Structure formats: C-alpha cells, structure tokens
C-alpha cells in the first residue's frame, strides 16, 4: 500500500506590521517617561515617533537622552492639530497640563486619532463627560494613563476576594505619604493651582500626584464606575503656600458595597510607598501598587507575599488596535475617580494648616526647603487602617468633612 504524499508546504511570507505613527504632546517633565517608552517600542518595531508637540521644540540633546539618533528626529510643532495632520499620526499621547486634556483629546478624536490620555483625564466632570462623549462619537480608542490598572495584581486580588480568601469585604483604604519640596510647586504655572482665571486646574494631592491611590482603590471597589458613587466626603488642607490641597482625606460611598477611604499627603516626614488595603472579615490584602506587590494576611494562615507583572498601557492600546484586546483603562473605568475630582473641585477652598502644625526642613529632593506636618505619616496610615477621615482621627487641625452627593 502506498502512503499518500503530503502536498508540498509553500511558506507564506511574513509581512511585518507597519509601525504605528505616534505623536507625543508634552515631552518634558513626566513626558520624558513617555518619550523613553515610545523609543523602547520603536526599537521593537511597534511604533514610530512621528511628532512631538511642545511650546519649545526638543533639542537634539533631549532627544538623544531618550535614545533617538539624528536620523530619527520627529516633526515638531506647538500646534497639536496641525502636527496630527502633517504626520498622519494614528495614535497620540497627551501628557500636557490638566486643563488642556479635554480640548486636545477632542482635537485628536475629530481626526480619528487614538489616544493615551494622561491622568487625571480632565479637571472636572463636565469636561470629562464632554471628552468621553466626543471619543465615543468618533469611534476611537482612548486609554487613560492610570498605569496601576495594568498591574497583574489587580485580577489576582479580585480572585482572592471572589473566592472568599478574606471573607466578606468590609472596606477599602488607601494611603500615600510623599515628599515634595517647595520647588515642586514652582515647576509650572499651573502647579498647585485650583484654577487659572476662570479655568479649572484642580492640581491637588488627591487628583494628581497621588491620584493612583484614589483610582486604584475605586477600581477594586466598584470597577471605577461613576454610577456606583453615591456620595463623596472631602477634607482638604494645605501646608504649602499654594491654592490646592497637599494633605487630604476623602471617603467615597458606593451603592453596591463598602466605602472607600483615602488619606494622602505631600508633606510626609519620610517618603513611603503608597498602598491600597482591602479589609475583610477574616483578613486583609495590601497592594503596593507602584511595586505590583501584594500581601495577604488571613486568619489561620501565615502572611503570603507575591510580586506580579504589569502590562504597559501603550502596548495594551497597540494590542487593542491590532487585535481587539480589551483596553485596560477606558474612560468609563475612571468615572468614579472623576466624581472625586468633581467633589474636590467644588469643595470649599483647602484650609491652610496653622503655622504650629507644620515645620520647614531642608532635605527635599533637591536639597531645598519643604514643609513637613509632624505626625502626618502615622495619621495617613491610620486613615487607611481604620477607614477614617482626619477629623475622625482627632487631628487638631482637622475640620468636619464636606459631603457632596453624587
């Protein structure tokens, strides 16, 4: 018996994917991180830096510091819309001042350009809703830059909760004690501002530097959905001579579950890693979101610590465009966070701490002066531990929180 001969296999040539042309708006400050990340993905053949939008063009040295050689210089312009048009960009990263996010996002959406939009997505609810509606109407993909949502720890924590590892969840706490010196609030004209003229900025500790603490806790509590938020209580304070808050606590009441309480400061005695705690009847889960580190403590078992991987948000956006991979941070998943931003925006002006409540130290990141609130580190930790606002913890400078119905 003769065996059938298999037909010859003709190899199909592999056509390499065309790199996605990307424009970066805001390439200095935190934008340098995005510039380096684009260079990493350009080296992999996934993207091409087509343009940079800055008021002052990047120098050759600035580009070289992020790995871009002389032959890789992008188009540069201070006109974002014109730059998108001339480069034929398919995606854009917006890392500009908070108050510019909505208009730039809508400019990209109007041209069918997909987005990675830095957090916070807008300075208030109305601008956020207008941006989200414009993005949906245009049919583009929009990823909001909460990098912690890319942590593989989040699904692991959800699985632990779903399987009853810590019993019924009784609350979510978050804490962040960071150090920022006086120079931090002089880094840009909008830094530490609540508004410029009639334009909202809302650059406070809850809404920008430690926004990840708020958003990550809300993502675990209610998948970040705005419709789950029924009330927000804020206690906003400032030790620095700024408009916005630098030491604050907030409690978010949700319709479907326990409250979320967050305590944060930029006036820490010592800098610490921010974290979120999931409190349960029979244990707790602590998540240090910048480190992707999870500690599980439960009755009858020893502590278990794990470190997880992380998916880069720009890579996730590219995978979404190429093969339909779900976005990790669509605008809808930041709605609950934006309810907090709106509550902060409309709250009474942050209360200045009395002079006796803070002191000046000269150990800031650049060796310059910074304001420190003695005892704030333990207060921040106690807020996340006991799910209490500063006034409930007995802080002598604290006033009763301002409640805002959602």
Are 156 and 143 in a shared domain? no
Are 141 and 165 in a shared domain? no
Are 82 and 224 in a shared domain? no
Are 27 and 79 in a shared domain? yes
> pTM of the prediction?
0.94
Is the residue at 325 inside a domain? no
CATH no. for residue 124?
3.40.50.720
Is the residue at 48 inside a domain? yes
- Look at the chain and report how many structural domains it folds into: 2
Q: pLDDT tens, 343-397?
A: 999 999 999 999 999 999 998 877 889 999 999 999 999 999 999 999 999 999 9
Are 356 and 211 in a shared domain? yes
What are the tokens at 34? 């995005």
In whole angstroms, what is the distance from residue 134 CA to residue 87 CA? 22
The pLDDT, as a whole number, for residue 70 is 84
CATH no. for residue 247?
3.30.360.10
Are 180 and 304 in a shared domain? yes
Q: Which domain holds residue 97?
A: 20-147
Mean predicted lDDT score pLDDT of the chain? 94
Using CB atoms within 10 A of its CB, is residue 2 exposed (0-12), middle (13-18) or buried (19+)? Answer: exposed
The pLDDT, as a whole number, for residue 13 is 45
Q: Looking at the predicted structure, is the pLDDT value of residue 79 above 90?
A: yes
Q: Looking at the predicted structure, is the pLDDT value of residue 172 above 70?
A: yes
In whole angstroms, what is the distance from residue 109 CA to residue 121 CA? 14
Is the residue at 318 inside a domain? no
Are 122 and 233 in a shared domain? no
Is the residue at 10 inside a domain? no
The pLDDT, as a whole number, for residue 404 is 59
Write b or e for each residue in 242-268: b if 16 or more Cβ atoms lie within 10 A of its Cβ, otherwise e.
bbbbbbbbbbbbbeeebbbbbbbbbbb
Are 85 and 156 in a shared domain? no
Is the residue at 192 inside a domain? yes
Strand duo 351-352 + 229-238: pairing: parallel
């Amino acid at each position: 018996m003769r065996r059938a001969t298999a037909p010859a296999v003709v190899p199909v040539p592999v056509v390499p994917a065309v790199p996605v042309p990307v424009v970066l708006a805001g390439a200095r400050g935190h934008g340098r991180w995005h510039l380096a990340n684009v260079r990493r993905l350009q080296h992999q053949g996934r993207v091409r830096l087509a343009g940079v939008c800055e008021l002052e063009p990047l120098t050759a040295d600035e580009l070289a510091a992020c790995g871009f050689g002389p032959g890789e210089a992008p188009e540069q312009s201070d006109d974002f819309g014109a730059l998108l048009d001339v480069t034929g960009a398919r995606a854009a990263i917006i890392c500009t001042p908070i108050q510019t996010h909505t208009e730039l996002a809508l400019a990209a959406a109007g041209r069918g350009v997909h987005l990675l939009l830095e957090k916070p997505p807008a300075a208030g609810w109305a601008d956020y809703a207008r941006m989200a509606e414009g993005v949906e109407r245009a049919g583009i993909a929009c990823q909001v830059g909460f990098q912690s949502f890319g942590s593989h720890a989040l699904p692991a924590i959800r699985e632990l909760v779903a399987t009853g590892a810590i019993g019924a969840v009784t609350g979510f706490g978050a804490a962040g004690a960071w150090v920022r010196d006086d120079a931090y609030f002089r880094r840009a004209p909008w830094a530490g501002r609540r508004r410029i003229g009639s334009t909202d900025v809302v650059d406070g500790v809850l809404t920008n530097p430690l926004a990840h603490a708020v958003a990550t806790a809300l993502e675990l509590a209610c998948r970040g959905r705005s419709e789950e938020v029924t009330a927000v209580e804020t206690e906003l304070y400032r030790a620095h001579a700024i408009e916005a808050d630098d030491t604050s606590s907030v409690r978010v009441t949700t319709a479907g579950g326990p409250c979320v309480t967050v305590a944060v400061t930029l006036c820490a005695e010592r800098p610490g890693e921010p974290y979120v705690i999931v409190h349960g009847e029979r244990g707790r889960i602590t998540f240090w979101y910048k480190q992707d580190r999870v500690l599980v403590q439960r009755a009858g078992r020893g502590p278990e610590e794990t470190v997880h991987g992380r998916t880069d948000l720009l890579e996730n956006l590219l995978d979404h465009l190429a093969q339909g991979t779900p976005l990790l941070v669509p605008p809808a998943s930041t709605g609950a966070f934006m309810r907090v931003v709106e509550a902060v925006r409309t709250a009474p002006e942050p209360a200045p701490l009395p002079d006796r409540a803070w002191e000046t130290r000269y150990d800031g990141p650049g060796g310059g002066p910074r304001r420190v609130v003695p005892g704030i580190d333990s207060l921040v930790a106690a807020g996340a531990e006991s799910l209490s606002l500063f006034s409930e913890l007995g802080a002598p400078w604290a006033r009763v929180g301002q409640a805002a119905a959602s």
